[in-house]
C-alpha cells in the first residue's frame, strides 16, 4: 500500500517524499489509517494522537480539547465523535529543529470522510517547522476532510505551520485550528491551496500573549467551481503583541472570501491586515473582508485591501520586454503569490515557490 501512495504524482508534485530523508520527521495517514509515523531528530516526538493520549498523561490534562471546545460547532462535534486519529508532535524545550517535520493526509477511497485531531507543541525556546500536505489519490474525485488542530507555543518558541492543499474537484475541507502563542513566541501560519476544490472553509484562531507575534499568510488560487472561504482571527491579548494577516488570492472563475479579524486587546498591541485579490476571469468572485476591533486607546490596527484585475501598466511593461500576454500574466501572478515570509527557512521558502511555479506556471491564465 505504501508504494501505491508513494508513487502518487500529486504527493510528489507538492514536494512530499514520504521516506523523507531530509525531513526531521514524517507522519502520514491514508483515509483513517496511520501509514507512517517516524522521527529522525532528537528532541522531537512524533506519534499518533491516540498513542500520545495513552502514554503521556499531560496531553489530556494540558492540551487535548483545551484550545477548541468539542461542542464549538458541527465540525468539532463531528471530530469529537469520530474514532481518534491524527498527529501528536512535540519539540522539546530549547531544541531548534530546522529541517521540516512533514505530515500528509491522503484521501484514498472515493467519497471517504477523513477526520483528524492534531496536537502540536513547541516547548519553551524550541523551534519547529511543520509542513502538512493534504492530497487525494489520483483516482479519487470526491470526499471530505475534517480536522481539529490545537497548537501550543510556549515562551519564546518559534513554530511555522505550512499547509499545502491539493485536493480533487469534489472534495470539501473543514480545518479548524487554534494556536496559543505564549510570551515572546512567534507563530507563522501559511495556507496554500492552488487546485480546484469544491469547498474549503478555514478560519484559524490565534491567541497572542505578551511580546508574542502571529503571522498568517493565505495563498489561494481558485479555478472554476472552487469555493474557498479563508482567513484568520487574531486575538492580540498580550502587551506589545503583534499580528499580521496577509492574503493573496487569485481567481480564474472560483469564488474566494478572504477574511481577517483582528482584535486589539493588549497594551500597545499592533496588527495589520492585507487582503489582495486578483480576478483573472469573469465568473469568479473575490471578497475581501477585513475586520478590526480596538479595545484600548493605545492599540494600532490597520488594513489594506485591493481586489480586481491585474495592472495593465505592469503587463504592458513586461510585454514591451518581449513577454507574451500569457507569459506576463503568469509571471505577475506567480510573483503576486510568492510572499516574503520572514523566519521561514530558505529551503522551505524555495519549496513553496517551486510549488507555485509548478502549479501556476504551466497553466494558461
Partner 1 sequence: MLEVKDLWVEVGGKLLLKGVNLTIGEGEVHILFGPNGSGKTTLLMTIMGAPQCRVVKGEIVFDGKVINDLPIWDRARLGIGMAFQSPPAVKGIKLKDLVEILADGKDGFDNELYSFLKLEDHISREVNKGFSGGERKRSELLQLFAQDPKFVMFDEPESGVDLESISLVGDAINRLLERGHCVKRHPKGYKKSGLIVSHTGYLLDYVKVDKAHVLIDGKLVCDKNPWDVLTTIREQGYKGCEVCKETC
Residues at the site binding partner 1, with contacts judged by CB under 8 A: 311, 313-314, 316-325, 327-328, 331-332, 334-338
Nearest to 49 by CA among 119, 121, 149: 119
Residue 329 CB, nearest approach to partner 1 (Å): 12
In the complex, minimum distance from the CB of residue 304 to partner 1, in angstroms, rounded to a whole number: 13
Decide if 129 contacts 100 (C-beta within 8 A): yes
What's the closest the beta carbon of residue 331 comes to partner 1, in angstroms?
A: 6
Q: How far is the CB of 338 from partner 1 (least distance, A)?
A: 6
Torsion of CA 260, 265, 266, 269, to 10 degrees: 40
**Cβ-based nearer residue to partner 1, 84 or 341:** 341
How many angstroms separate the CA atoms of 285 and 336, rounded? 18
Residue placing its CB nearer to partner 1 in the complex, 61 or 312: 312
Cβ-proximal residues to 205 (8 Å cutoff; 6+ apart), any chain:
67, 177, 178, 179, 232, 233, 235
- The DSSP element (H or E) to which 304 belongs, if any, is strand 300-308
Q: Least distance from C-beta 336 to partner 1, angstroms?
A: 5
* Residue 159: strand pairing partners: 128, 187
Least spacing, CB of residue 286 vs partner 1, in Å: 17
Query: Please, which residues bridge with residue 134 across strands?
Result: 105, 165
Nearest residue (CB) to partner 1, 42 versus 346: 346
Hey, CA dihedral for 305, 307, 312, 315, is it positive or negative?
Answer: positive
In whole angstroms, the minimum distance from the beta carbon of 148 to partner 1 comes to: 34
Residue with smaller CB distance to partner 1, 128 or 192: 192
CB 191 within 8 Å of CB 230? yes
Taking the least distance from each CB to partner 1, the nearer of 6 and 331 is: 331
CA distance 120 to 122: 7
Cβ 228 to partner 1, closest distance in Å?
Answer: 20
What is the four-CA torsion angle of 286, 165, 78, 87, rounded to 10 degrees? -140
CB of 323 to partner 1, least distance (A): 6
- 174 vs 336 by CB, closer to partner 1: 336
The number of beta carbons lying within 10 Å of the beta carbon of residue 107 is 26
CB atoms within 10 A of CB 180: 23
Rounded to 5 degrees, φ, ψ at 140 are: -90, 135
Query: What is the rounded CA–CA span in Å between residue 280 and residue 282?
Result: 7
Nearer Cβ to partner 1 (82/318)? 318
Rg (CA), the chain: 20
Number of H helices, E strands in the chain: 8, 20
For partner 1, the closer of residues 302 and 311 by Cβ is 311
Could you tell me the smallest distance in angstroms from the CB atom of residue 105 to partner 1?
Answer: 30
Residue 316 or 358 with smaller CB distance to partner 1: 316
Compare residues 56 and 318 and give the one whose CB is closer to partner 1: 318
Amino acid at each position: 500500500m505504501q508504494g501505491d501512495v508513494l508513487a502518487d504524482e500529486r504527493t510528489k508534485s507538492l514536494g512530499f517524499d514520504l521516506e523523507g530523508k531530509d525531513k526531521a520527521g514524517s507522519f502520514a495517514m491514508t483515509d483513517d489509517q496511520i501509514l507512517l509515523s517516524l522521527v529522525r531528530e532528537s528532541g522531537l516526538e512524533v506519534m499518533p494522537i491516540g498513542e500520545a493520549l495513552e502514554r503521556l498523561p499531560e496531553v489530556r490534562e494540558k492540551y487535548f480539547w483545551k484550545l477548541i471546545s468539542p461542542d464549538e460547532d458541527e465540525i468539532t462535534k463531528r471530530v469529537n465523535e469520530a474514532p481518534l486519529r491524527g498527529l501528536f508532535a512535540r519539540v522539546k524545550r530549547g531544541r531548534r529543529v530546522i529541517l521540516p517535520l512533514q505530515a500528509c493526509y491522503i484521501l484514498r477511497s472515493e467519497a471517504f470522510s477523513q477526520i483528524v485531531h492534531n496536537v502540536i507543541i513547541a516547548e519553551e525556546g524550541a523551534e519547529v517547522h511543520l509542513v502538512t500536505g493534504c492530497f487525494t489519490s489520483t483516482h479519487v474525485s470526491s470526499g471530505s476532510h475534517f480536522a481539529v488542530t490545537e497548537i501550543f507555543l510556549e515562551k519564546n518558541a518559534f513554530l511555522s505551520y505550512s499547509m499545502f492543499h491539493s485536493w480533487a474537484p469534489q472534495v470539501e475541507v473543514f480545518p479548524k485550528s487554534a494556536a496559543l502563542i505564549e510570551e515572546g513566541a512567534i507563530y507563522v501560519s501559511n495556507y496554500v491551496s492552488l487546485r480546484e476544490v469544491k469547498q474549503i472553509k478555514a478560519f484559524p484562531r490565534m491567541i497572542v500573549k505578551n511580546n508574542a507575534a502571529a503571522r498568517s499568510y493565505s495563498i489561494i488560487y481558485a479555478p472554476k467551481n472552487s469555493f474557498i472561504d479563508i482567513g484568520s482571527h487574531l486575538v492580540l491579548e498580550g502587551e506589545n503583541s503583534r499580528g499580521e494577516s496577509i492574503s493573496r488570492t487569485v481567481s480564474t472563475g472560483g469564488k474566494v472570501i478572504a477574511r481577517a479579524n483582528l482584535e486589539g486587546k493588549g497594551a500597545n498591541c499592533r496588527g495589520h491586515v492585507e487582503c489582495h485579490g486578483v480576478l483573472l476571469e469573469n465568473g469568479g468572485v473575490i471578497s475581501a473582508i477585513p475586520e478590526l476591533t480596538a479595545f484600548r486607546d493605545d492599540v494600532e490596527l490597520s488594513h489594506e485591501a485591493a481586489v480586481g484585475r491585474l495592472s495593465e501598466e505592469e503587463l504592458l511593461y513586461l510585454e514591451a520586454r518581449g513577454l507574451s500576454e500569457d507569459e506576463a500574466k503568469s509571471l505577475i501572478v506567480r510573483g503576486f503569490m510568492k510572499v516574503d515570509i520572514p523566519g521561514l527557512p530558505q529551503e522551505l521558502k524555495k519549496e513553496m515557490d517551486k510549488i507555485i511555479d509548478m502549479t501556476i506556471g504551466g497553466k494558461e491564465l
